[in-house]
Structure 1
Amino acid sequence: MAEISSQKIQIAVLDMIAAISSNKRSVVALESVLKKVCGLVVGIAYSSLTGLQEAAIRALAGLACMDADLVWLLLANVYYSLNQRESLLPDQDLALVSDLLPPPVSSREYLFVQYGGEGVKCDVDPSSVHYVFRRMHGV
């Protein structure tokens, strides 16, 4: 199969996840595999696969309709591990997210890898992490 055809299929699957997860009638189809799907989509969004990034962000926005806490926990785990000094909390009386989510010893310890399963690639691209986190913050 040609690489462009494979990428189009992957984009279509991510768009299908976005459509299913944001539709209240069809959300039942993803409930039993939500953690695994979220882990896989976060892994795709944070990887160096820039052609799939926008579709992954759309899928994450849809999955956030089902369980926003899970999506943001998976996103924040990587983001704050890589950006420990940056704080989005203006009040210093509150604990920093990086204090609540200690950095993993290896890339295999990221929550999205644990939730997504052994098949998740761990090629986290730091520039993608910042971009996806900021885009999701605006969604």
Structure 2
Amino acid sequence: MGFAKEFKEFAVKGNVIDLAVGVIIGGAFGKIVDSLVGDVIMPIVSRIFGGLDFSNYFIPLAGQTATTLAEAKKGGAVFAYGNFITVALNFIILAFVIFLMVKQINRVKHQAPPPAPAAPPEQVVLLREIRDALKSNRT
């Protein structure tokens, strides 16, 4: 029973739940970046460099004569450096976007006003009132 209770406390802690949400959002964000790179950026880069399609740049290692990466992979080992270029570009874009997000969060944190000081305990307030009343009676 102790193990189950300990696991439950661990699983429902805010940190674990926050981490799970972050992983789920990160996975979805990764798909968005994949689509951005594969469907938007790489076609533009391909157009600029004369119609290059990086996804089909490969070196067959098993003697294949295929013209596309998918066909070559069916025939054996392939050194798919074009796919690596695409994935590396995905990483650079993702890292840049995360950098911009963290930079904005830090900027907002530094602009936030400092928290108001906590109110003094009731005893301190009462003692101050008594002190002030005694001072006003003397004069």
TM-score (norm 1): 0.26
TM-score (norm 2): 0.26
